[in-house]
Each structure stands twice: as structure tokens, then as C-alpha cells.
Structure 1
């Protein structure tokens, strides 16, 4: 019963929160985005950037 052991529920919540934070930090810092090449920046088609109002 949860009324009998509130400390156990609190420790489970804290452990789950720490694991969630560690998992998110590992995923955030392990992601390395590809930097755009300078050749691709100059080859942008400007006709596709015009909005059709």
C-alpha cells in the first residue's frame, strides 16, 4: 500500500528523475549535427524562397 511506505515512493521518483536526466543529457551531448558545406550555401535556389501570398 502506498500509504505505508511514502519514503519508498519518494526514492523511486528521485531515482527515476535522475535516470531520466542522465538519459537526456547523454542523448543531447552525443548528437553531432552535420555542418553545412560552403558550396551548398551558395547554391540556394532563390526562386523557391518566394512566398505565394
Structure 2
């Protein structure tokens, strides 16, 4: 639609950018990791690495 005014394209770009930013921020802060997996992670990381080359 090239007949649209440039200010309309600018407002659409700003609106899309704000919605995308809001969506990403909400997804980032809504993630809550489980704290009971820390023991399992430490147990896995303490295992010796046996490379079979």
C-alpha cells in the first residue's frame, strides 16, 4: 500500500515495536526456574568426564 502516508508507516512501526518489546519482556519475567534442580545440576557437573577416543 504505497499510498499510505509515511507518518502512518512510522506509527505502525512504533506500535509493532512496542508490542514486540512488551511481549518479550512479559515472557522473560514470567519464567520462574525450579530451585529444587540445583542439587541435580551440581551432581551432574561433579561427575568425572571419561573421554573414549
**TM-score for the superposition, normalised by structure 1:** 0.68
Match of 1:32 in 2: 32
Give how far 1:27 is off. Answer: 0.2
Higher RCO (C-alpha 8 Å, min separation 6):
1
Unmatched 5+ residue regions in structure 1? Answer: none
Q: Give the length in aligned residue pairs.
A: 50
Give how far 1:29 is off. Answer: 0.1
Q: How well do the aligned residues superpose, as a CA RMSD in angstroms?
A: 2.3
* More deviation, 22-31/1-10: 1-10
Per-residue Cα deviation, 1:1-53 (whole angstroms, up to 9, x for no partner): 42550000010000000000000000000000112243x334x4725x32334
